[in-house]
Amino acid sequence: MGVLEALAEISKYIPAVGKPARRPPLPTRLAWTGIVVLLYLIMSEIPLYGVLGYRQQTTQALASLLLGMDLGSLMTLGIGPIVTAGIVLEVLVGGGLVEMDLTKPRDRKIFMGAQRTLALLFALLEAAAYAAGCRFWTTALGGGGCPVGLGIKALVVLQLVFATLILMWFDDLVREGWGIGSALSLFIVANVVKGLFWRLAGPVLVRSNPTEYYGWLVHVVKTGDPAILRYGLPDLVGLLATIAIIMVLTYFQLMRVYIPVTSPRYGSIKTRIPLNFIYVTNIPILFVAITVSDLAVFYEMIAGVTGGTDPLSRALYVLYHYTRPPQGLLDAVHTPLRTLIFALAWLAMGLLYGFIWVEIAGLSPRQQAENLIKSGMELPGLRRNVKLLEKVLARYIYPLTVISSLLVTALAIIADIFGAYGTGSGLVLLVGIVYSFYETLTYERTLEMYPILQRIIGG
């Protein structure tokens, strides 16, 4: 754990937002949350100084949507460095490569500190690769060579690293009690909603075919064509798939599995503990989508430096090509082998990340058994023994982990195959994050209405 401790030690010199001395009222926290999201969207429209007016959405739609990447703006890297740092550390801890117990305050503090430092290191690496590969300037001028010097490149790198630091401050501000929920999750929601709007009503002409409009609704109104199916463009099938997937996800989000328990402390009162049917929430699909997005990002960075002819660039391109979602039903049918490999790869990664998340997030049978014992609850007919409880709970939790991981990933795959707006992973994240935010908002509202509850639970 020496490397993580070193990274955590460095993080002490990185400015951070502290907790408020007194929790602000709910309306104030909602206002701060809204301001943070608005500032994030504004930053995605502010061009980098020194890039000769180059602005372009990243060619990788998934990276643009989930990571908020907008090449040429302050959000060129988006939230990619932050979430990538989190995934790397969580995989290391969940895979047992690093010995840490995240339920302990000290280990949790080291983990969070290491994540902050690693996020800035990733931002520095990605920004330096973009600058070294002259990613902005050659494309902007339409020719080869790099017309800018080392000073301009260094300035661009500093801007991108500082933009990542600002996003970390935004996340700190919301998580530490000034706002509500998670800023990074809300940034993803903002990107998905923006993508949904443009696919539904984007009033722009398609470059390859000036007679077609990008937004399905605008295309129908302007041309009278119902656009039932369009190759790589929003169509009616995609809209219907979007509505259906959102409804199915909402239904599963509300499902619960109940475990009967008793409390000897209170006269053996019988009750039931609810477990979410989507036990792993939306985390596995988030990790899967970001893993695929990172393949595209790293390919673009390395190819910008090497020209894309080196073995590493080619390997990254092949991996991304066969794991990226299809662009609608016509694309899926046109490339059946790639679609099959994409589906199998996503299911495998979703299941892997589901088990990793259960282990590192305190959702494992052992952790849940310990929580039951500490709360004074027990299962009927079993003595108060952690190992016995763990075996019983494993019969519920591990099947739920498998089912929910595969189910959520399968819904995302189906949505992508049918061209759902906002991508399948985007819709899964949208429904999960919005529902989680609603639960948090309800909880905070209850505490504000009944202050005595806040004193009881120590909030």
302 part of a folded domain: yes
Cβ–Cβ under 8 Å, residues 63 and 126: no
Q: Could you identify the residue written with the tokens 């643009």?
A: 64
Answer yes or no: is 285 within a domain.
Answer: yes
Q: Are 156 and 136 in contact (CB under 8 A)?
A: yes
**Is 402 within the bounds of a domain?**
yes
Token pair recorded at residue 395: 């019969």
Cβ–Cβ < 8 Å for 136, 51: yes
Q: Which is more confident, 100 or 163?
A: 163
Instruction: Give the C-alpha separation, 163 to 120, whole Å.
Output: 10
**What number is the average pLDDT over the span 295-311?**
77
The per-residue pLDDT for 456 is 55
Average pLDDT, the chain: 83
Give me the pLDDT at residue 410, please: 94
Kindly tell me if the per-residue pLDDT of 54 is higher than 60. no
Q: Within its chain, how far is the Cα of 62 from the centroid?
A: 11
Same domain? For 298 and 384 the reply is yes
Q: Does 94 score more than 80 pLDDT?
A: no
Q: Of the spans 229-233, 235-239, 365-369, which averages the highest pLDDT?
A: 235-239
DSSP bridge pairs for 205: 213
| Residue 71 bridge partners (DSSP) | 56
Question: In whole angstroms, what is the distance from residue 341 CA to residue 324 CA?
Answer: 10
DSSP state of 316: H
- Same domain membership, residue 239 and residue 128: no
Quick one: 163 and 25 in the same domain? yes
Report DSSP letters for 369-418, one per residue.
Answer: HHHHHHTT-B-TT--S-HHHHHHHHHHHHHHHHHHHHHHHHHHHHHHHHT
Domain around 165: 1-180
Q: What is the pLDDT of residue 259?
A: 73
Strand partners, 213: 205
In a domain, 437, yes or no: yes
Q: Mark whether 174 and 269 lie in a shared domain.
A: no
Shared-domain flag, residues 262 and 374: yes
- Which of 5-14, 211-220, 376-385 comes out lowest in average pLDDT? 376-385
* pLDDT score for 281: 80
Q: Sign (positive/negative) of CA torsion 18, 23, 25, 29?
A: positive
Q: Is residue 324 domain-resident? A: yes
d(CA 411, CA 427): 9
On the question of pLDDT at 453 being above 50, the answer is yes
Residue 266 has pLDDT above 70, yes or no: no
pLDDT given for residue 141 in this prediction: 41
| Number of domains observed in the structure of the chain | 2
CATH number for the domain that contains residue 155:
1.10.3370.10
CB atoms within 10 A of CB 207: 8
3-state secondary structure of 210: strand
Model pLDDT, residue 117: 93
Q: Are residues 376 and 241 in the same domain?
A: yes
In a domain, 75, yes or no: yes
Confidence (pTM): 0.83
Residues paired with 260 in a beta bridge: 272
Residue 452 pLDDT exceeds 60: yes
